[in-house]
Amino acid sequence: MSGPLLLSIESSCDETGIALVEDGRRIHANVVASQVALHAPTGGIVPEVAARAHLRWIVPVLDEALETAGVTVRDVDAIAVTYGPGLAGSLLVGINFAKSLAWAHGKPLVPVNHLEGHLYAGWLLDPGEADREAPGFPLVGLVVSGGHTFLVEMRDHLSYRLLGRTVDDAAGEAFDKVGRLLSLGYPGGPAIANAAERATAHDRVFPRAWMGASYDFSFSGLKTAARRIIDEARADAGLPADAREGPLPDAVVAELAWGFQDAVVDVLARKTIRAAEETGARGIVLGGGVASNLALRARISAGAAARGIGMVLPRPGLCTDNGAMIGAAGARRLAAGELAGLDLDARPSLPLAR
Ligand code: KG4
Ligand code: ZN
């Protein structure tokens, strides 16, 4: 073993994730219990339901992770845990569990910012995957998830300068809301991406909010426009305004999904590439659930390649919340000597830069 083995715990939102990661890179196990099915009937996350689900699943998830990696808690060098940002009740389950393990086994406890975890997911290697070289600093990082959308400059590991952020909704939130308007179910992101793949016509244009020359984003106007465009499409199809009284034809849903996705991808990709060019970045880091979107990945990767800019791109399964990304960031914090005491508390609004 070349570096410390971390047991890392993620419970900030609606996924219970526990991983074993060596040296902040090599995944030995990465088990995620998703609550998607649990939250689908309400079309969104009910915080208390999420917290109770973490409580129910955290021990079985730990057992499976240890079994997969073939280790016991005694074998690990430290325990890393997400302490914010996120839902307080959900965070408390993971933090309390991590503390109990650290106390009972006499292991150091490493506090990890969830957003930093998303940024470090791209450095992870799957079991057996060949090592790949990451571009050097400076880097520009785009985090796009259900709760966050922002661009940062990284001049070194663990160092962040905020370039821009959403002034209203997160990109994932917009996907989820428009997914509901199109009756595509929860979560909207993957459902819209799938529907967009089936589009045969590509001429429904949704508005883009450029926010001047800034690196900020805004998605609430797009959401309002989507409602209007969907209403118009229903009227054109001779359907009543209420979606429960008849679904839009599949082909129209696909066209609308494509138009919406294209608007989000266009803004995210252009701003990220411009930020990389203007800051002289050698690479672009993507993270967060929306970074699993294939159209976004392809657009940013192509723009970066055309300019000789490298990519730090996690595979789609590591973009959404998981424990391994917490182990990746946690190893860097451990190396920097940043440990938490057993009085560690949840920080629901923790910013990225400490
Ligand atoms: O990072 P994540 O798992 O949780 C948060 O920290 O928020 O991100 C979840 C978000 C949801 O809004 C979901 O709709 C979106 O990521 N998402 C996607 C895709 N897969 C997940 N959005 C667009 N395209 C996808 N393929
Ligand atoms: Zn997340």
Q: pLDDT value at position 246?
A: 84
Q: Which residues line ligand 1 (CB under 6 A)?
A: 13, 145-147, 172, 175-176, 187-190, 193, 288-290, 292-293, 320-321
Provide mean pLDDT across the span 97-103.
98
Residue 133: strand, helix, or coil: coil
Higher pLDDT, 323 or 243: 323
Quick: pLDDT tens for 271-307: 999 999 999 999 999 999 999 999 999 999 999 999 9
pLDDT of residue 354: 52
Question: pLDDT digit string (tens) for 132-141?
Answer: 999 999 999 9
Write down the pLDDT at residue 35: 86
Residue 353 has pLDDT above 80, yes or no: no
Pairing of strands 109-113, 78-84: parallel
Distances (CA, A) of 205 to 64, 147, 266: 46, 25, 12
Which of 113, 176, 290 maximizes ligand 1 atoms within 8 Å of its Cβ, making it the mutation to test the pocket?
A: 290
Q: What is the pLDDT of residues 30-85, one digit of tens each?
A: 999 998 888 888 888 899 999 999 999 999 999 999 999 999 999 999 999 999 99
Distance CA 124, CA 44 (A): 29
CA–CA–CA angle 118, 211, 350 (5° rounding): 35
- The 10s digit of each residue's pLDDT in 256-269 is 999 999 999 999 99
CA-wise closest residue to 176 among 29, 54, 43, 283: 43
| Distance of CA 172 from the midpoint of ligand 1 (Å) | 5
User: Taking the model in full, what pTM does it have?
Assistant: 0.96
Sign of CA dihedral 33, 121, 115, 7: positive
Pocket test for ligand 1, best of 320, 322, 352 (most atoms within 8 A of CB): 320
Best CA proximity match to 124, nearest among 319, 284, 262: 319
Structural tokens at position 277: 């060019």
